[in-house]
Amino acid sequence: MHPEATRRRGAALEAALLEAAWAELVERGYGALTLEGVAQRAGTSRPVIARRWAGKAELVSAAAVHVLWQERMEVPDTGSLREDTITLLREANEKRVDATALLTAHLGDYFRETGTNPAEFRDAAIGGRTTSVDVIVDRAVARGEVDPELLTPRRRTLAFDLFRHEVLMRLGRVPDEVIVEIVDDLYLPALGLRPPRAREA
């Protein structure tokens, strides 16, 4: 066993393994990633990985979730659903786009192997946690800004679903004017709100 494995335990060792798996995924892609390569990068041995994850798919899934939750974003609280949404999308544009693009580019073989899809992967990553979207929308309801009867699941996440689509189509950052257009022309009207441009007109 590599000497590094004898010095790390518990959460520290697990984090090192997950970060090594992510680095291997980015560098090699899912198809070429091996547990031996992850172990070598992490300075440990394959049995150490096997004791924690059943196989490559489970390790890669855990690594992606680890990286995404490491980069959790601050939930804005501007007092306005419009400003909260634009602020959150801009932060996602800075912090999450590269990871989203990498996952899209490198996980095709993972989805084929596991018979899953990106939506299922996202649901598993969230794992029942309260999302930033839920927080800002629920605040808007509590302020009386949004009618809860209009909040179907699709409408609740519409701005973020459209943003994610733009990221996947571009495999990169979304222009700021597109973010504003998504919010003002599509999201707010779907929730019965008039964007500033409409009010001014």
Distance from first CA to last CA of the chain, Å, rounded?
70
Could you tell me which residue, 99 or 74, shows the higher pLDDT?
74
pLDDT, mean of residues 75-89: 95
Note the pLDDT of residue 3. Answer: 46
pTM, 2 dp? 0.74
Beta-carbon contacts of 122 under 8 Å, excluding residues fewer than 6 positions away, are none
Spatial distance between the Cα atoms of 195 and 105, rounded to a whole number of angstroms: 35
pLDDT tens by residue, 39-73:
999 999 999 999 999 999 999 888 888 877 776 67
CATH no., domain 3-66: 1.10.10.60
Distances (CA, A) of 35 to 9, 17, 39, 175: 19, 10, 6, 38
Fold type of domain 74-200:
Tetracycline Repressor; domain 2 (1.10.357)
Mean pLDDT along residues 100-122: 79
Every domain of the chain and the residues it spans: 3-66, 74-200
Structure tokens given for 184? 């003002």
The Cα 45–Cα 76 span in angstroms is 42
Percent of the chain whose predicted confidence (pLDDT) is above 70: 87
Helices 81-95 and 97-106 pack at an angle, to 10 degrees, of 60
